[in-house]
Amino acid sequence: METKMLSTSASDLELAAQLINQGQVVAFPTETVYGLGADATSEEAVKKVFAAKNRPSDNPLIVTVASVAMVERFVSEIPDIAKKLIANFWPGSLTIIMRFKEGALSPIVTGGLTTVAFRLPANPMTQKVIELADTPIVGPSANISGKPSPTTAQHVLHDMQGKIAAIINDGATEIGVESTVIDVTTPVPTILRPGAVTPEQLEAVIGLVASEKRKVGQKETPKAPGMKYRHYAPDVPVYMVKPNDWKAAIIWAQQQLSTVGIMAPDDIIAAQQLKGMDFVWSLGSGVATANAKLFAGLRYFDNRDDVKLILVHYFEQDGLALAYDNRLGKAASGQFFVNEN
């Protein structure tokens, strides 16, 4: 199969919708990362997504919609708390887990659970494709499972060439990490995956929220992506570096026989006199830009044969840093650089 690279022209968006209606898989842009789309009501189409990603079958999929009316096709009612979240954060990078009508969605989509995650992304091109197809689409990130998520169409092509029908190219994504996932079926609404919508923003709308930080057991089915399996990881080891450890980390890296990739904010790069070095990836001026640049940097170094290890800046955990540190922590399997001197 040849994977077509589509533009955002009206004719190409129409073609993308036709491919989805034909049961094909099409990668689509969002404000967070690129997703892998197929008709959420077709078991055969959804199976193609699992095959393309090499995704575990018990890892449920997000259902991506173009309107609240699409959600209403699959749920008996939208809870009041979800209505508040929808009014404040949709379209946008918030995924909401609700109970769905029995038999309304295949167990392949839901992982056999009685709940399902819905999202209405802010990208107007993707909204248009879903409207034209007149069906919700599944929307996991458009990468091989376990690898860093794609923030450009070229990242998707690297992983999905020949595996899917088409990719809609809308340039680099703005946010760079996947959506916040909140479960509103629990006694206290619970964040299952942090993202660009922060706990503080959610609490301003619906009051107290909880955060689920435990790892799901081997025999459990996760309610949301990223709760059970290894995610976001390149082939080479990744170590997190706390701000005060960078000087020692740079000295250590320079002593290694193989190249060590460095991913750090601009102030760290300037302080350590690393500007312009080809083994350095800028994370920009702060955590917002770091979110947008994290996955691209991990992919850049993972594609270099000379880089055998990557050191990445760690931010203190609050606000947007929760999403960044969540993704980085999984890419690094929780490992920090330790200054032994």
Specify the CATH number for the domain of residue 276.
3.40.50.11030
Domain-located, residue 226: no
Domain-ending residue, one of 166, 196, 211: 211
**For residues 201-219, average pLDDT:** 82
Domain-located, residue 339: no
Same-domain status, 253 and 296: yes
Greater model confidence, 217 or 138: 138
Domain that holds residue 204: 4-211
Cα gap 331→229, rounded to integer Å: 11
Name 118's bridge partners.
63, 96
Report whether pLDDT(90) > 90. yes
pLDDT of residue 214: 58
Domain-located, residue 219: no
Give 2-45 as a DSSP string. Answer: PPEEE-SSHHHHHHHHHHHHTT--EEE--SSS-EEEEETT-HHH
Same-domain status, 61 and 130: yes
Token pair, residue 275, equals: 């500007």
Same-domain status, 98 and 141: yes
Token pair, residue 268, equals: 């760290």
Cα gap 156→296, rounded to integer Å: 11
Cα gap 157→152, rounded to integer Å: 9
Same-domain status, 182 and 308: no
Same-domain status, 259 and 120: no
- Is 0.75 topped by the overall pTM? yes
pLDDT of residue 335: 96
Same-domain status, 164 and 305: no
pLDDT of residue 221: 63
Percent of the chain with pLDDT over 70: 94
E-only strand ranges, the chain? 4-6, 26-28, 35-39, 62-64, 94-99, 115-119, 137-138, 166-168, 180-183, 190-193, 210-211, 238-241, 259-264, 280-282, 307-313
Greater model confidence, 309 or 340: 309
What domain count does the chain have? Answer: 2
Domain-located, residue 233: no
Domain-ending residue, one of 194, 211, 228: 211
pLDDT of residue 66: 98
How confident is the model over 168-199, as pLDDT tens digits? Answer: 999 999 999 999 999 999 999 999 999 999 99
CATH number for the domain that contains residue 162:
3.90.870.10
Domain-ending residue, one of 171, 196, 211: 211
Same-domain status, 70 and 205: yes
Least confident of 36-40, 51-55, 129-133, 237-241: 51-55
Report whether pLDDT(110) > 80. yes
Same-domain status, 197 and 308: no
Average pLDDT for the chain: 93
Name 279's bridge partners.
none
How many Cα atoms are found within 13 Å in the side-chain-facing hemisphere of 279?
A: 17
